Amino acid sequence: MELKRVVVTGLGAVTPIGNDVPTFWENLLKGVSGATRITYFDPTLYKSAIACEVKDFQVENYFDRKDARKFDKFVHYAVAAAQEALQDSGLNLEEEDKNRIGVVLGVGVGGVGYFQEAVAENTLHEEDGPRYSPFFVPKMIADMSSGIISIRYGLAGPNYVCTAACASSTIALSDAFNLIRMGKATTMLTGGSEAAVTKAGMGGFAALHALSTRNDSPETASRPFSASRDGFVLGEGAGILVLEELEHAKARGAKIYAELVGTGLTADAYHMTASHPEGLGAVRAMQEALEDAGMKPEDIDYINTHGTSTPVGDVSEVNAILSVFGEHAYKLSIDSTKSMTGHLLGAAGAIEAIATVLAVKNDVVPPTINHDPEDKDENIDYNLDFTFGKSKQRTVRAALTNNFGFGGHNATAIFKKY
């Protein structure tokens, strides 16, 4: 079978540093941090009291009041990002075969906020028997994000959600890519959504010692590749990309941001929550993506790393990059946009894919913020260009983005100029 070529024709985002793609991109390039003290609940008694919350999101722009109450925030965010992405793509759905348009998203946790509230409410009334809402299950389950987008726009192609922790939306991107390549769809909405900044989300990740406790300085807490990093800052939001078969996009005169050319999916088969110290699974994911794309390491100019700001994970990923790219690693621009957005869990890969696409399109690499030149980890090679401090103009012929998740899931995607 001759595989079809796949391009990106639309983008949509709801993030801690902007509720649309232009604002998100502008703030990435400026090095704006989305981290603040948590406002959704009183975090005083929590080890980590900081997060990258979505700000000023107007749900009434996307749902009427009655419908909004049927869905958890992760669905609100997904629908908002999908609306922007479809508008950006210029697709006229009335002229398209909707049976050939699908939705595959990544969600790591799903409706944890609503689940937490509903269970707490029922615990208060145990003597009266259960009082669960008929919306309890549909409001909680992760696949409702792709399902509601499908229902809203009548998109009857492949429709499901991938759940693989922090690699979820990059795996969804890979699946959507392959569905188009194999001719099973002409167009796919893909990406991911998450809304886990809740009491349960914060408490659970803090119990794993995964979160930064730099509560006195939220905006500097996410500091990938710095010696003083102490965990990630939890984020929330959604990102949606419209992927389209190249000839279909050309026939309708679509604008094309970049071409998606390869993906790689592997497992560490090592540990429940820790990445392999030598990054062996990450190495194979990047190698598989390069092979899938028919590219060599020296064809890549930029890597948007998983870069969570955890003590083990950052070193592991740097080791993996050095293993795959060798001497060419020192010619790459490398960054972690999580230094600004925090870690969006299942939606991380989605917004980072958007950042990668825009870097390829615009020949500029966003920065890694919050690094002090004196704050060096002896296990990290600082001869690499981590794009510390400010964005960098450079030619980006092709770029690679990594995401790794609890359970040992590894996913890599490569975009290049069209």
Active-site residue numbers? 166, 306, 343
Q: Pick the closest to residue 59 from 95, 41, 83 (CA basis).
A: 83
**Rounded to whole angstroms, how far apart are CA atoms 255 and 233?**
35
Q: In sequence order, what DSSP letters do the residues of 55-88 get, joined into one string?
A: -S--GGGTS-HHHHTTS-HHHHHHHHHHHHHHHH
**Could you give the 3-state DSSP secondary structure of residue 128?**
helix
Tell me the backbone φ, ψ of residue 33, rounded to 5 degrees.
-90, 140
- Partnered with residue 364 across adjacent β-strands are 393
- The set of residues, in sequence order, having a beta carbon less than 8 Å from that of 327 and lying 6+ positions away, is none
Q: Pick the closest to residue 271 from 224, 316, 222 (CA basis).
A: 316
**Could you give the 3-state DSSP secondary structure of residue 410?**
strand
- The set of residues, in sequence order, having a beta carbon less than 8 Å from that of 27 and lying 6+ positions away, is 17, 18, 34, 340
- Tokens 């917004």 — which residue? 351
| Cα 271 → chain centroid | 22
Q: Pick the closest to residue 412 from 288, 308, 312, 291 (CA basis).
A: 288
**Rounded to whole angstroms, how far apart are CA atoms 329 and 301?**
9
- Token readout for 328 is 């060419």
For 381, other C-beta atoms within 10 Å of its C-beta total: 14
- Token readout for 23 is 């604002």
